Structure 1
Protein backbone atom coordinates (compact mmCIF):
# COMPACT_ATOMS: atom_id res chain seq x y z
CA UNK A 1 0.00 0.00 0.00
CA UNK A 2 1.19 3.46 -0.91
CA UNK A 3 -0.21 6.63 0.64
CA UNK A 4 0.22 9.90 -1.28
CA UNK A 5 -1.19 13.44 -1.10
CA UNK A 6 -4.52 14.12 -2.82
CA UNK A 7 -4.16 14.45 -6.60
CA UNK A 8 -5.13 17.39 -8.76
CA UNK A 9 -8.87 17.24 -9.44
CA UNK A 10 -10.06 15.18 -6.47
CA UNK A 11 -10.27 15.39 -2.68
CA UNK A 12 -9.07 11.81 -2.58
CA UNK A 13 -8.76 8.70 -4.71
CA UNK A 14 -8.31 5.08 -3.82
CA UNK A 15 -6.87 2.93 -6.59
CA UNK A 16 -6.25 -0.78 -6.39
CA UNK A 17 -5.15 -3.73 -8.43
CA UNK A 18 -3.88 -7.23 -7.83
CA UNK A 19 -2.46 -7.09 -4.27
CA UNK A 20 -1.66 -3.33 -4.39
CA UNK A 21 -3.43 -0.10 -3.44
CA UNK A 22 -2.75 3.61 -3.57
CA UNK A 23 -4.61 5.94 -1.24
CA UNK A 24 -4.11 9.51 -2.39
CA UNK A 25 -5.58 11.84 0.21
CA UNK A 26 -4.42 14.52 2.59
CA UNK A 27 -4.60 12.23 5.62
CA UNK A 28 -2.07 10.68 7.99
CA UNK A 29 -0.51 7.59 6.33
CA UNK A 30 -0.36 5.87 9.74
CA UNK A 31 -4.15 6.28 10.05
CA UNK A 32 -4.64 4.69 6.62
CA UNK A 33 -2.41 1.73 7.42
CA UNK A 34 -4.00 1.09 10.81
CA UNK A 35 -7.53 1.39 9.42
CA UNK A 36 -6.93 -1.29 6.77
CA UNK A 37 -4.51 -3.47 8.78
CA UNK A 38 -7.18 -6.15 9.37
CA UNK A 39 -7.39 -6.88 5.60
CA UNK A 40 -4.92 -4.82 3.55
CA UNK A 41 -5.82 -6.65 0.32
CA UNK A 42 -9.57 -5.93 0.33
CA UNK A 43 -10.20 -3.20 2.90
CA UNK A 44 -8.86 -0.16 0.98
CA UNK A 45 -11.70 -0.44 -1.57
CA UNK A 46 -14.24 -1.68 0.99
CA UNK A 47 -17.23 0.30 2.20
CA UNK A 48 -15.98 0.79 5.78
CA UNK A 49 -12.65 2.30 4.78
CA UNK A 50 -14.17 4.43 2.02
CA UNK A 51 -16.75 5.78 4.49
CA UNK A 52 -14.08 6.54 7.09
CA UNK A 53 -11.95 8.27 4.44
CA UNK A 54 -14.98 10.30 3.33
CA UNK A 55 -15.38 11.56 6.89
CA UNK A 56 -11.68 12.49 7.01
CA UNK A 57 -11.59 14.39 3.70
CA UNK A 58 -15.11 15.85 3.83
CA UNK A 59 -16.22 14.50 0.46
CA UNK A 60 -18.43 11.63 -0.63
CA UNK A 61 -16.91 8.71 -2.50
CA UNK A 62 -18.08 8.12 -6.04
CA UNK A 63 -18.80 4.69 -7.44
CA UNK A 64 -16.32 1.86 -7.63
CA UNK A 65 -15.09 2.06 -11.23
CA UNK A 66 -13.08 -0.26 -13.39
CA UNK A 67 -10.28 1.78 -14.97
CA UNK A 68 -9.43 0.82 -18.52
CA UNK A 69 -6.80 2.03 -20.97
CA UNK A 70 -7.49 2.29 -24.70
CA UNK A 71 -5.69 0.39 -27.42
CA UNK A 72 -3.75 2.34 -30.07
CA UNK A 73 -5.79 4.68 -32.26
CA UNK A 74 -7.43 3.10 -35.28
CA UNK A 75 -6.35 4.16 -38.78
CA UNK A 76 -9.84 5.55 -39.40
CA UNK A 77 -12.76 6.41 -37.14
CA UNK A 78 -15.01 3.73 -38.60
CA UNK A 79 -18.11 5.87 -38.17
CA UNK A 80 -19.12 9.45 -38.85
CA UNK A 81 -18.82 11.82 -35.91
CA UNK A 82 -19.52 15.54 -35.84
CA UNK A 83 -18.56 18.08 -33.17
CA UNK A 84 -21.65 18.64 -31.06
CA UNK A 85 -23.21 20.72 -28.34
CA UNK A 86 -25.42 18.30 -26.46
CA UNK A 87 -27.41 18.91 -23.30
CA UNK A 88 -27.34 15.50 -21.68
CA UNK A 89 -26.66 14.35 -18.09
CA UNK A 90 -23.51 12.52 -19.25
CA UNK A 91 -22.20 15.74 -20.85
CA UNK A 92 -23.10 17.83 -17.79
CA UNK A 93 -21.24 15.35 -15.58
CA UNK A 94 -18.18 15.55 -17.80
CA UNK A 95 -18.27 19.35 -17.66
CA UNK A 96 -18.38 19.19 -13.83
CA UNK A 97 -15.51 16.74 -13.44
CA UNK A 98 -13.24 17.30 -16.44
CA UNK A 99 -11.51 20.14 -18.22
CA UNK A 100 -10.92 20.65 -21.95
CA UNK A 101 -14.14 18.74 -22.69
CA UNK A 102 -14.80 17.87 -26.33
CA UNK A 103 -18.06 16.39 -27.58
CA UNK A 104 -18.97 14.53 -30.77
CA UNK A 105 -22.14 12.82 -31.86
CA UNK A 106 -23.28 10.63 -34.67
CA UNK A 107 -25.15 12.68 -37.31
CA UNK A 108 -28.47 11.26 -36.13
CA UNK A 109 -27.65 12.03 -32.47
CA UNK A 110 -28.02 8.40 -31.41
CA UNK A 111 -24.48 8.27 -30.02
CA UNK A 112 -22.49 10.83 -28.05
CA UNK A 113 -18.75 10.60 -27.38
CA UNK A 114 -17.10 12.82 -24.77
CA UNK A 115 -13.38 13.36 -24.16
CA UNK A 116 -11.89 15.50 -21.44
CA UNK A 117 -9.04 15.80 -19.00
CA UNK A 118 -9.86 14.17 -15.69
CA UNK A 119 -7.91 13.02 -12.68
CA UNK A 120 -4.30 14.23 -12.77
CA UNK A 121 -4.85 15.62 -16.28
CA UNK A 122 -5.36 12.25 -17.94
CA UNK A 123 -7.54 12.08 -21.08
CA UNK A 124 -10.79 10.26 -20.27
CA UNK A 125 -13.62 9.05 -22.47
CA UNK A 126 -17.31 8.55 -21.81
CA UNK A 127 -20.22 7.84 -24.08
CA UNK A 128 -23.97 7.66 -24.28
CA UNK A 129 -26.09 5.67 -26.69
CA UNK A 130 -29.77 6.52 -27.10
CA UNK A 131 -31.94 3.67 -25.79
CA UNK A 132 -33.47 3.21 -29.26
CA UNK A 133 -30.00 2.53 -30.73
CA UNK A 134 -28.66 0.13 -28.08
CA UNK A 135 -27.73 -3.45 -28.75
CA UNK A 136 -26.37 -2.85 -32.26
CA UNK A 137 -22.69 -2.12 -31.58
CA UNK A 138 -22.81 1.69 -31.58
CA UNK A 139 -21.20 1.95 -28.13
CA UNK A 140 -18.33 -0.27 -29.23
CA UNK A 141 -17.92 1.75 -32.44
CA UNK A 142 -17.80 5.01 -30.46
CA UNK A 143 -15.14 3.85 -28.01
CA UNK A 144 -13.15 2.22 -30.81
CA UNK A 145 -12.97 5.62 -32.55
CA UNK A 146 -12.16 7.58 -29.38
CA UNK A 147 -8.34 7.09 -29.27
CA UNK A 148 -8.05 8.70 -32.71
CA UNK A 149 -9.61 11.89 -31.30
CA UNK A 150 -7.15 12.38 -28.44
CA UNK A 151 -4.67 15.20 -29.09
CA UNK A 152 -1.08 14.16 -29.72
CA UNK A 153 -1.92 10.46 -29.42
CA UNK A 154 -1.87 10.66 -25.62
CA UNK A 155 -3.09 7.63 -23.65
CA UNK A 156 -6.86 7.45 -23.21
CA UNK A 157 -8.53 6.19 -20.05
CA UNK A 158 -12.06 5.13 -19.20
CA UNK A 159 -13.70 4.83 -15.80
CA UNK A 160 -16.65 2.46 -15.96
CA UNK A 161 -18.95 1.77 -13.03
CA UNK A 162 -18.69 -1.92 -12.30
CA UNK A 163 -22.47 -2.29 -12.46
CA UNK A 164 -22.62 -0.78 -15.97
CA UNK A 165 -22.18 -4.11 -17.73
CA UNK A 166 -23.29 -2.82 -21.14
CA UNK A 167 -20.59 -0.16 -21.08
CA UNK A 168 -17.97 -2.60 -19.81
CA UNK A 169 -18.78 -4.99 -22.66
CA UNK A 170 -18.45 -2.16 -25.21
CA UNK A 171 -15.04 -1.06 -23.92
CA UNK A 172 -13.71 -4.60 -23.67
CA UNK A 173 -14.97 -5.45 -27.17
CA UNK A 174 -13.13 -2.36 -28.44
CA UNK A 175 -9.85 -3.67 -27.00
CA UNK A 176 -9.58 -1.55 -23.85
CA UNK A 177 -7.63 -3.25 -21.06
CA UNK A 178 -8.59 -3.24 -17.40
CA UNK A 179 -5.73 -1.89 -15.29
CA UNK A 180 -7.22 -1.25 -11.85
CA UNK A 181 -10.24 -0.22 -9.81
CA UNK A 182 -10.77 3.30 -8.52
CA UNK A 183 -13.00 5.36 -6.26
CA UNK A 184 -12.84 9.14 -6.62
CA UNK A 185 -13.91 11.55 -3.91
CA UNK A 186 -15.42 14.80 -5.20
CA UNK A 187 -13.61 18.09 -5.43
Structure 2
Protein backbone atom coordinates (compact mmCIF):
# COMPACT_ATOMS: atom_id res chain seq x y z
CA UNK A 1 0.00 0.00 0.00
CA UNK A 2 1.24 3.45 -0.87
CA UNK A 3 -0.61 5.86 1.42
CA UNK A 4 0.33 8.25 4.18
CA UNK A 5 -1.27 6.24 6.99
CA UNK A 6 0.02 4.47 10.08
CA UNK A 7 1.22 0.97 9.07
CA UNK A 8 0.13 -0.38 12.48
CA UNK A 9 -3.44 0.80 11.76
CA UNK A 10 -3.38 -0.99 8.41
CA UNK A 11 -2.01 -4.18 10.01
CA UNK A 12 -4.78 -4.16 12.64
CA UNK A 13 -7.48 -3.58 10.03
CA UNK A 14 -6.41 -6.38 7.71
CA UNK A 15 -5.09 -8.89 10.28
CA UNK A 16 -8.08 -11.29 10.04
CA UNK A 17 -7.54 -11.77 6.27
CA UNK A 18 -4.55 -9.88 4.84
CA UNK A 19 -5.22 -11.15 1.31
CA UNK A 20 -8.87 -10.13 0.97
CA UNK A 21 -9.48 -7.30 3.43
CA UNK A 22 -7.16 -4.67 1.88
CA UNK A 23 -9.49 -4.54 -1.14
CA UNK A 24 -12.73 -4.91 0.81
CA UNK A 25 -15.33 -2.17 0.89
CA UNK A 26 -15.10 -1.56 4.65
CA UNK A 27 -11.31 -1.12 4.63
CA UNK A 28 -11.35 1.04 1.49
CA UNK A 29 -14.03 3.29 3.04
CA UNK A 30 -12.01 3.63 6.25
CA UNK A 31 -8.86 4.36 4.25
CA UNK A 32 -10.75 6.94 2.18
CA UNK A 33 -11.76 8.71 5.39
CA UNK A 34 -8.13 8.73 6.58
CA UNK A 35 -6.63 10.06 3.34
CA UNK A 36 -9.51 12.34 2.36
CA UNK A 37 -9.96 10.90 -1.13
CA UNK A 38 -12.45 8.62 -2.81
CA UNK A 39 -11.47 5.09 -3.82
CA UNK A 40 -11.84 4.13 -7.44
CA UNK A 41 -12.57 0.70 -8.85
CA UNK A 42 -10.71 -2.42 -7.76
CA UNK A 43 -8.66 -3.22 -10.85
CA UNK A 44 -6.74 -6.32 -11.84
CA UNK A 45 -3.15 -5.33 -12.63
CA UNK A 46 -1.57 -7.23 -15.51
CA UNK A 47 1.89 -7.17 -17.07
CA UNK A 48 2.53 -7.62 -20.78
CA UNK A 49 4.64 -10.35 -22.33
CA UNK A 50 7.93 -9.29 -23.95
CA UNK A 51 7.37 -7.18 -27.05
CA UNK A 52 7.30 -8.59 -30.54
CA UNK A 53 9.70 -7.13 -33.11
CA UNK A 54 7.11 -4.49 -34.03
CA UNK A 55 3.51 -3.62 -33.27
CA UNK A 56 2.17 -6.10 -35.87
CA UNK A 57 -0.83 -3.83 -36.39
CA UNK A 58 -0.96 -0.65 -38.42
CA UNK A 59 -1.16 2.23 -35.95
CA UNK A 60 -1.04 5.97 -36.56
CA UNK A 61 0.20 8.47 -33.95
CA UNK A 62 -2.81 10.63 -33.17
CA UNK A 63 -4.08 13.73 -31.40
CA UNK A 64 -7.66 12.75 -30.63
CA UNK A 65 -10.32 14.09 -28.31
CA UNK A 66 -11.43 10.78 -26.83
CA UNK A 67 -12.71 9.87 -23.35
CA UNK A 68 -10.04 7.13 -23.02
CA UNK A 69 -7.32 9.73 -23.65
CA UNK A 70 -8.88 12.24 -21.24
CA UNK A 71 -9.03 9.58 -18.51
CA UNK A 72 -5.41 8.60 -19.13
CA UNK A 73 -4.34 12.23 -18.74
CA UNK A 74 -5.98 12.35 -15.30
CA UNK A 75 -3.83 9.48 -14.01
CA UNK A 76 -0.73 9.41 -16.23
CA UNK A 77 2.08 11.57 -17.56
CA UNK A 78 3.84 11.38 -20.93
CA UNK A 79 0.59 10.26 -22.60
CA UNK A 80 0.96 9.16 -26.22
CA UNK A 81 -1.89 8.03 -28.47
CA UNK A 82 -2.23 5.88 -31.58
CA UNK A 83 -5.29 4.90 -33.58
CA UNK A 84 -5.96 2.35 -36.25
CA UNK A 85 -6.15 4.00 -39.70
CA UNK A 86 -9.95 3.72 -39.68
CA UNK A 87 -10.18 5.17 -36.15
CA UNK A 88 -11.95 2.08 -34.79
CA UNK A 89 -9.23 1.43 -32.22
CA UNK A 90 -7.44 3.78 -29.83
CA UNK A 91 -4.27 2.80 -27.96
CA UNK A 92 -2.96 5.00 -25.14
CA UNK A 93 0.44 4.70 -23.42
CA UNK A 94 1.58 6.78 -20.48
CA UNK A 95 3.48 6.75 -17.20
CA UNK A 96 1.32 5.93 -14.22
CA UNK A 97 1.82 4.70 -10.67
CA UNK A 98 5.51 4.86 -9.69
CA UNK A 99 6.39 5.88 -13.25
CA UNK A 100 5.44 2.54 -14.72
CA UNK A 101 4.49 2.33 -18.42
CA UNK A 102 0.76 1.73 -18.65
CA UNK A 103 -1.57 0.94 -21.55
CA UNK A 104 -5.26 1.37 -22.16
CA UNK A 105 -7.29 0.75 -25.27
CA UNK A 106 -10.74 1.43 -26.63
CA UNK A 107 -12.53 -0.23 -29.53
CA UNK A 108 -15.44 1.48 -31.24
CA UNK A 109 -18.66 -0.43 -30.46
CA UNK A 110 -19.25 -1.12 -34.18
CA UNK A 111 -15.84 -2.85 -34.42
CA UNK A 112 -16.09 -5.03 -31.31
CA UNK A 113 -16.13 -8.81 -31.33
CA UNK A 114 -13.57 -9.20 -34.13
CA UNK A 115 -10.29 -9.30 -32.19
CA UNK A 116 -9.26 -5.65 -32.55
CA UNK A 117 -8.91 -5.20 -28.78
CA UNK A 118 -6.58 -8.19 -28.55
CA UNK A 119 -4.57 -6.92 -31.52
CA UNK A 120 -4.22 -3.47 -29.91
CA UNK A 121 -2.99 -4.78 -26.56
CA UNK A 122 -0.66 -7.25 -28.31
CA UNK A 123 0.86 -4.33 -30.26
CA UNK A 124 1.37 -2.12 -27.22
CA UNK A 125 4.59 -3.62 -25.71
CA UNK A 126 6.55 -2.80 -28.87
CA UNK A 127 5.64 0.88 -28.41
CA UNK A 128 7.19 1.28 -24.94
CA UNK A 129 10.24 3.55 -25.22
CA UNK A 130 13.36 1.64 -24.24
CA UNK A 131 11.43 -1.58 -23.77
CA UNK A 132 10.73 -2.46 -20.17
CA UNK A 133 7.59 -3.82 -18.63
CA UNK A 134 4.17 -2.62 -19.70
CA UNK A 135 1.30 -2.66 -17.23
CA UNK A 136 -2.47 -2.53 -17.54
CA UNK A 137 -5.23 -2.04 -15.01
CA UNK A 138 -8.48 -3.73 -15.95
CA UNK A 139 -11.77 -3.65 -14.10
CA UNK A 140 -12.66 -7.35 -13.69
CA UNK A 141 -16.27 -6.56 -14.59
CA UNK A 142 -15.05 -5.43 -18.03
CA UNK A 143 -14.88 -9.01 -19.23
CA UNK A 144 -14.27 -8.14 -22.89
CA UNK A 145 -11.20 -6.09 -21.96
CA UNK A 146 -9.95 -8.71 -19.52
CA UNK A 147 -10.31 -11.43 -22.17
CA UNK A 148 -8.42 -9.30 -24.72
CA UNK A 149 -5.47 -8.72 -22.38
CA UNK A 150 -5.31 -12.37 -21.33
CA UNK A 151 -5.55 -13.55 -24.95
CA UNK A 152 -2.61 -11.27 -25.82
CA UNK A 153 -0.49 -12.95 -23.14
CA UNK A 154 -0.73 -10.41 -20.31
CA UNK A 155 -0.43 -12.01 -16.87
CA UNK A 156 -2.26 -10.98 -13.69
CA UNK A 157 0.12 -9.72 -11.01
CA UNK A 158 -2.03 -8.10 -8.33
CA UNK A 159 -5.02 -5.83 -7.77
CA UNK A 160 -5.10 -2.15 -6.90
CA UNK A 161 -7.39 0.74 -6.16
CA UNK A 162 -6.42 4.29 -7.05
CA UNK A 163 -7.80 7.07 -4.87
CA UNK A 164 -8.70 10.48 -6.23
CA UNK A 165 -11.11 13.39 -6.13
TM-score (norm 2): 0.97
Paired position in structure 2 for 1:127: 105
RMSD of aligned Cα (Å): 1.0
1:42 Cα deviation (Å)? 1.4
Q: 1: CA distance between counterparts of 2:115 and 2:106?
A: 12
Paired position in structure 1 for 2:15: 37
Three-state SS of the structure 1 residue aligned to 2:136 is strand
Paired position in structure 1 for 2:141: 163
Paired position in structure 2 for 1:139: 117
Paired position in structure 2 for 1:24: 2
TM-score (norm 1): 0.86
Paired position in structure 1 for 2:44: 66
Three-state SS of the structure 2 residue aligned to 1:113 is strand
Q: 1: CA distance between counterparts of 2:68 and 2:78?
A: 15
Give per-residue Cα distances to partners, 1:17-60, cap 9 Å, x unaligned: xxxxxx22101111111122233231111000000000000111
Q: Which runs of 5+ in 1 are unaligned?
A: 1-22
Q: Which runs of 5+ in 2 are unaligned?
A: none
Three-state SS of the structure 2 residue aligned to 1:153 is coil
Paired position in structure 2 for 1:176: 154
Three-state SS of the structure 2 residue aligned to 1:151 is coil
- How many residue pairs get aligned? The number is 165
